[in-house]
Structure 1
Amino acid sequence: MEHINYTIDANGIAFITWDVVNSPVNIMNAVTMPAFFSTMDKALEDDTVKGIVINSAKNDFIAGGDLKWFLNYDKSKEDCYNMLLETHKAMRRMEVSEKPIVAAMNGLALGGGLELALACNHRIMTAHPKNKTGLIECSVGLFPGAGGTQRYLRMLGPQKTIQYITQSKKFSAAQALKEGIVSEICAPEEDINTKAKEWILVNEKTQQPWDNKRFQVPGTPVGVGQLSGITEFFSVSNAMAFKNTHGNMPHIKNVLSAIYYGASCGIDNALEIEARYFTDTLFTKESKNIIRSSFIFIGDAAKGKAKPKGFEKTTYNKIGVLGAGMMGAGIAYVSAKAGLEVVLKDISKEGAEKGKSYSQIVENKKLEKGYTTQEKIDALLENIYPSADVNDLKDCDLIIEAVFENEKLKNTVTKETESVIKDEVIYASNTSSIPITTLAKASSKPDKYIGLHFFSPVDKMPLVEVIVGNETSDETLAAAIDYVIKIRKVPIVVNDGRGFFTSRVFGKFVNEGISMLSEGIPPAVIENVAKKIGMPVGPLAISDEVNLKLMLDVMGEDPTLTKHEKQLEKLIGDIIKEHGRTGKKEGAGFYEYPNGAKKYLWSEWKKIFPVKEDYDEEEVGRRLLFAMVIDAYKCIDSGVLKEPKDADVGSILGLGFPIHTGGVMSYIDYIGASEFASYSEKLATQYGERFELPKSLKELIEKAENNRVFYKN
């Protein structure tokens, strides 16, 4: 059968081998699952078959469900629920059969791949360092829907089940064995199929633990207080989930419900409960948004889909990083971690050495947690060469400038560096605001000049804006994207402009927060509503991190400020001049920063900006998001960005825009095109032209089908 191979050996052991055609990995969907279950039923009904091994002809076992299939699922809720019930019945036929079934997990076994393995009597996993297993569906807006919630629950108990599923926890082979998720591990050089066969030959009849009438879910005590104890535990879990998600993530709420209600009944009823909650989840707009943006859009970007066609892959061996401050040190670290040699140059050797020490600090923390070894740390540090001598850059394949955000300084560094490097070497600037075309004027080869805007902290933030100047060549762009992919970051291509995309759009979020404070909206309301709508941090806290002095300097250099932005410029200047509030660095911004204590909002703001009582929390949240969304569309309209999906990827990874909405452009579809237009008009009437929609967006909204401007689902 296509996708699934079937053989029986001389001992009566059936091998059901996953080998999905035209795919680098095995995926579970409407085609492959029926093929698998048909083959499994054939083996179960054959009296000559003594046991069954499920394995893979590919490097990995099963990568999980086909998310594109889920995203484009176009049947009814009832059809979906019935499909899941049929899946559960087929997997239960495996479990209630007395024939021993072994999952030979030779590589990655994630999501549905692990769920299938959990329905087997024995699981063997190859202990290769890259091999991982786990139920990771929550990371893409879903939760395990092929029995994973209920089998985890019966194997691990409710506490670990909730933790591991909601956090999409991945396990190495050793960790999976310790947790009891797999039964046995084998070395990479061992034949996993032989081990599976050996187990079957000594285990002629089997039964799943939860099919024993005396089975009790671990962690659910028997006797007095049992019900109240379980209820209390799940109540706390629900409260914690709401605190973290603010009710924006239906899949988290639904998975907790599936686990809670499934704990009090037998496996078959529990699987029906899971199917019902999974169906409800799949049909939410939040899950569709998360799947589309986090898996498809970000996945495509991470593979370098934006790279211009017709250019061979550029390989790098040695790069130069100019400036060993926080950004330069981070860029040096991720480059060295990717196996590249790095010359980390600063104005002094001591400064360069300090920059290198950042890598040591980051890796030492990982060592303490057992995530790395001293040998790996030593090898990484060996890749970083601290220097104060520009001549040490002469053999580099790529230069990344990360000096202080000052045009004159950057120009000086460009000329100094270009005097020693080869003509073909690309020169990239990590600037966050100065146009690349402007900086490239100091270069003797502007076609080789490009922007690589990293985010802080570099080792944790996945996005890199690849900024194209007026004279940047496609060859340079292609090579720059190859570097970003090499260091395992996600590139989006941005055309030149002040603030590019992320800095510009995020500025609207910050500006709106400060504007609302000046209008008398309590600062705690502004900050808490920002988190409630899904932003990771409030606009006032971000302002303190950036520093009001720096914000004022950037505004002062921007000739394109709007009327509203000029008013903000004066307001920020007054805050600095009259109250001495500049930011976190100085210990006094919108927040107070007492030594060794948690920061708190400065109490005097209510005297400076008297509080009004008639504010609307929904309006506060929408002002923060609409300000970003409208400006993000202007980036597309003006050509700063090419496609809406680039805005979605950049906003999620670079700005922390609420992922359940799908990103800045998906947000319009999320709340509905007509609602977005009418609410924007309301905000524009009350607060000014910054909320007015561009003519082209109005036209798109007028033509929108099913109230969606950009995406069908």
Structure 2
Amino acid sequence: METIRFDIDADGIATLTIDVPGQSMNVIGPDFLADLDAAITRIASEEGIKGAVIASGKDSGFMAGMDLKYFGSMLASADGQRPAPTAIFDNVFVLNQLFRRLETAGKPVACAIEGTCVGGGFELALACHRRFVGDSPKTQLGLPEILIGLFPGGGGSQRLPRIMGVQASLMYMLQGKLFRPAEAAMLKVVDGVVPQGTALAAAKDWVKANPTASTQPWDVKGFKVPGGAGGFNPAFVQTMAGALPMTLKQTQRNMNAPIALLSAVYEGITLPMDRAIRIESKYFAKVAADPQASNMIRTLFVNKQAAERGARRPKDEAKAPTTKLAMLGAGMMGAGIATVAAQAGMDVVLFDRDQAYAEKGKAHVEAVLSKRLGRGMTPEKMAATLARVTPTTDYAALAGADFVIEAVFEDVAIKAEVTKQVEAVLGADTIFGSNTSTLPITKLANAWSKPENFIGVHFFSPVEKMPLVEIILGEKTGPAAIAKALDFVAQIKKTPIVVHDSRGFYTSRSFGTYVQEGAELVGEGINPALIENAGKQLGMPTGPLAVSDEVSIELGVKIMTAAKKELGDAYVPQGSDDIMLKMVEADRLGRKNGKGWYDYPEGGKKHLSPVLGDLFPRADAQPDVEEVKERLLYRQLIECARCFEEGVLETPEDGDIGAIFGWGFAPYTGGPFSHMDTVGIAHVVAVLDRLAAAHGPRFAPTAQLREMAANGATFYRPVPSRAAA
């Protein structure tokens, strides 16, 4: 066997040690399935084997889920087309059959879990008769498949409810929520939490002491699901009756997997396990066959992991971890960056114009850490982290820093002055990163003597929670700066994308169109409530007007005014410009002053302001919600396509990752480029032509899109040459 070491001790207990070669974490692939099949046959047939224990041979943890490259091959035939639904069912049912054979092999089987055990690995554990887990704060167990467009397809949707009850299990599976060891034990998901490193011994002891415990509870006559199940059980009916509308509301009917999961649980929970797992595989195959799952897996898992592992990092550059960070600006962004840097073990000099601001920045670090006490943060760890942050007003204190991040006021002159002061202390060989959301990096780099060492490092607020960092290359940014920035992002465990310079770069520029189109719609007299609901139904985290309030309408006007001044005649006016200006003139600046598109009464709930009807009279004829959704979606799509044609984006992978993790673009699509590929470029062009004819040139398709439509190309296959390199 290549993936499993099979050993039998003097007591007749077989130990199956999983160690998939070439993988940092054990995953389920064809070789593992073949080896597990052979191992189960031995366990069941050899009289000398009294029971078995399954463990991991890797320090990284027990096991993750399916090898996604293998999973993709299960969904494609030799010519690249998707096979018939029956063939997909046969492919995905293999794992279910195997785990069922394990739990009915007639011998007791225990699982020894040390470290991460998720997805298919956790489903393997659930198929064992007992589960023992080593107690470590880093250990996580559970079924997170819903987060990448799938649901548990190896028996998890049937075994977990039979162990912990339908209501509780659905709460975990529908959210992709993971268990810590103590929590898993409390919910009876594991049978024993033992000192770290002793799970194997505990599992062996149980097998030795229980030679006849080879039947799962659900295979015993008279078994009842904890909390009850079935159409005549009031609690079960109430749970399912509530779960469906809640899930539809949460997903806005856009996600396939959560509804399929509910169906699998509802239909399978009262059936014998052999029939229940067929129900599960039926729904799993249906979800897997839809492009939604493939798109989500590609962006949210495969490409995201590749980005975090350095897919865009210059290969010839030596590793350049940051040990001392010079953080310029102690506002919300600067303090947030200081927090994640200090947590990653770096020394941070937190610089601001006066000591009170700098101290306030460090107080922010302390406040964030305090909220994590008892959740992986100890008082000792908190004290050590805080000790690494030094607030100062003295440029000289920056000496020795090997990386600089600037997050001062969004003004070219102010940034230039700070940049020159820092160079006087550190020298131009130090890599300098500017955290700006709109100002061109090439222009800011003029203040640094070696522009090849100047780079954009765009964080999102709140820094501690937002997973994305947009790395922006100026015209002269060199490989050493790229490597340094990406190594820093890896240290703070965030996801990077790499883009080229332009006003607004990729994320701010493309996200801004969502807000702008919302304002355009208000200006046309469209009901603001319709606009907001359409945005949420589209799959965006919130409506365009609400997010405009949060970001600040006033800030949007300032950015627009600065762009007009900078670009002069080259500035392309937007219909939203006058609308946003009218809001600012009416002193409706956004949430910051308690009134924007919404009103924010003290102690009350925000609500769309009735004043909007006076500022922008309501049109007699209102569009259908689908029409509004289409405008909000395609205004973003065309801007993303422009960024690709212009070379702001080099890869569709960066475009999809940046959209979902940067501004919350509808995750079920896999991102704007995946979505355009899925619906077809010719369809995208046709819709854009129709919208451009009705609403103006902001919707006009790019030349590249037209060429792709004519050639049948897609973004994830070779595309025609760009208008600009």
TM-score tier after normalising by the smaller chain length: over 0.9
Look up the equivalent residue of 1:335 and give its one-letter code: A
Q: Which residue of 2 aligns with 1:187?
A: 195
Q: Which residue of 2 aligns with 1:589?
A: 596
Q: Which residue of 2 aligns with 1:477?
A: 482
| Equivalent in 505, 510, 515 of residue 505 of structure 1 | 510
Q: Which residue of 1 aligns with 2:44?
A: 44
| Equivalent in 90, 114, 118 of residue 106 of structure 1 | 114
- How many angstroms apart in 1 are the aligned matches of 2:648 and 2:413? 25
Q: 1:232 to 1:172 in 2, by over 3 A?
A: closer
Q: Does 1:439 align with 2:439?
A: no
Q: Do the aligned residues in 2 keep the contact of 1:70 with 1:282 (CA within 8 Å)?
A: no
Shift of 1:562: 7.8
Q: Does 1:24 align with 2:24?
A: yes
| Equivalent in 239, 244, 247 of residue 241 of structure 1 | 247
Give ranges in structure 2 of 5+ residues lacking alignment.
Answer: 77-82, 719-725
Q: Does 1:426 align with 2:431?
A: yes
- How many angstroms apart in 2 are the aligned matches of 1:16 and 1:624? 53
Q: Which residue of 2 aligns with 1:197?
A: 204
Q: Which residue of 2 aligns with 1:643?
A: 651
Superposed, 1:63-212 pairs within 5 Å as 63-72=64-73, 73-74=75-76, 75-190=83-198, 192-206=199-213, 207-212=215-220
Q: 1:175 to 1:711 in 2, by over 3 A?
A: farther
Look up the equivalent residue of 1:653 and give its one-letter code: F
Superposed, 1:483-522 pairs within 5 Å as 483-522=488-527
1:665-709 deviation digits (Å, cap 9, x = unpaired)? 11212323232121111101000111111111111122226xx55
Q: Which residue of 2 aligns with 1:453?
A: 458
Superposed, 1:504-583 pairs within 5 Å as 504-559=509-564, 560=567, 565-577=573-585, 579-583=586-590
Q: Do the aligned residues in 1 keep the contact of 2:44 with 2:106 (CA within 8 Å)?
A: no
Q: Do the aligned residues in 1 keep the contact of 2:229 with 2:269 (CA within 8 Å)?
A: no
Give ranges in structure 1 of 5+ residues lacking alignment.
Answer: none
1:361-402 deviation digits (Å, cap 9, x = unpaired)? 2222222x6442222211211111111111110111111111
Look up the equivalent residue of 1:550 and give its one-letter code: L
> SS state of the match for residue 557, structure 1?
helix
1:1-24 deviation digits (Å, cap 9, x = unpaired)? 222222222221112221212222
| Equivalent in 298, 301, 311 of residue 307 of structure 2 | 301
- How many angstroms apart in 2 are the aligned matches of 1:659 and 1:214? 43
Q: Do the aligned residues in 2 keep the contact of 1:29 with 1:69 (CA within 8 Å)?
A: yes
TM-score relative to the length of structure 2: 0.94
- How many angstroms apart in 2 are the aligned matches of 1:83 and 1:415? 62
Q: Does 1:392 align with 2:392?
A: no
- How many angstroms apart in 1 are the aligned matches of 2:677 and 2:94? 33
Greater Cα offset, 400-409 or 373-382: 373-382
Superposed, 1:326-341 pairs within 5 Å as 326-341=332-347
Superposed, 1:373-412 pairs within 5 Å as 373-412=378-417
Shift of 1:196: 2.1
Q: Which residue of 1 aligns with 2:676?
A: 668
1:389-448 deviation digits (Å, cap 9, x = unpaired)? 111101111111111111111111111111111443111110111111111111122221
Greater Cα offset, 552-561 or 476-485: 552-561
Q: Does 1:417 align with 2:425?
A: no
1:276-295 deviation digits (Å, cap 9, x = unpaired)? 11111111121111101101
Q: Does 1:366 align with 2:367?
A: no
- How many angstroms apart in 1 are the aligned matches of 2:235 and 2:57? 47
Shift of 1:49: 0.5
| Equivalent in 600, 610, 623 of residue 607 of structure 2 | 600
> SS state of the match for residue 178, structure 2?
coil
Q: Do the aligned residues in 2 keep the contact of 1:701 with 1:709 (CA within 8 Å)?
A: no
Look up the equivalent residue of 2:68 and give its one-letter code: L
- How many angstroms apart in 2 are the aligned matches of 1:563 and 1:487? 37
Alignment size in residue pairs: 705
> SS state of the match for residue 471, structure 1?
coil
Shift of 1:86: 4.0
1:452-479 deviation digits (Å, cap 9, x = unpaired)? 0000000011111111112211111111
- How many angstroms apart in 2 are the aligned matches of 1:76 and 1:510? 42
- How many angstroms apart in 1 are the aligned matches of 2:444 and 2:249? 45
Q: Which residue of 1 aligns with 2:275?
A: 269
Q: CA RMSD in A?
A: 1.8
Shift of 1:575: 2.7
| Equivalent in 609, 622, 638 of residue 630 of structure 1 | 638
Look up the equivalent residue of 2:505 and give its one-letter code: F
Q: 1:496 to 1:655 in 2, by over 3 A?
A: same
- How many angstroms apart in 1 are the aligned matches of 2:677 and 2:27? 29
Look up the equivalent residue of 1:24 and give its one-letter code: S
Greater Cα offset, 199-208 or 609-618: 609-618
Superposed, 1:55-66 pairs within 5 Å as 55-59=55-59, 60-66=61-67
Shift of 1:120: 0.7
- How many angstroms apart in 1 are the aligned matches of 2:4 and 2:85? 28
- How many angstroms apart in 2 are the aligned matches of 1:37 and 1:634? 51
| Equivalent in 316, 320, 331 of residue 325 of structure 1 | 331
- How many angstroms apart in 2 are the aligned matches of 1:54 and 1:353? 53
Q: Do the aligned residues in 2 keep the contact of 1:16 with 1:40 (CA within 8 Å)?
A: no
Look up the equivalent residue of 1:9 and give its one-letter code: D
Shift of 1:33: 1.1
Q: 1:140 to 1:562 in 2, by over 3 A?
A: farther
- How many angstroms apart in 1 are the aligned matches of 2:489 and 2:94? 44
TM-score relative to the length of structure 1: 0.96
1:58-116 deviation digits (Å, cap 9, x = unpaired)? 12211111122223421432123224444333322322333111111122111100101
Q: 1:232 to 1:307 in 2, by over 3 A?
A: same
Q: Do the aligned residues in 2 keep the contact of 1:666 with 1:711 (CA within 8 Å)?
A: no
> SS state of the match for residue 498, structure 1?
coil
- How many angstroms apart in 1 are the aligned matches of 2:579 and 2:419? 36
Shift of 1:31: 3.0
> SS state of the match for residue 366, structure 1?
coil
Shift of 1:604: 2.3
Q: Which residue of 1 aligns with 2:80?
A: none
Q: Do the aligned residues in 2 keep the contact of 1:129 with 1:172 (CA within 8 Å)?
A: yes
Q: Do the aligned residues in 2 keep the contact of 1:127 with 1:173 (CA within 8 Å)?
A: yes
Q: Does 1:257 align with 2:263?
A: yes
1:567-591 deviation digits (Å, cap 9, x = unpaired)? 43233223322x2222111111111
| Equivalent in 204, 220, 229 of residue 228 of structure 2 | 220
> SS state of the match for residue 89, structure 2?
helix
> SS state of the match for residue 228, structure 2?
coil
Q: 1:554 to 1:79 in 2, by over 3 A?
A: same
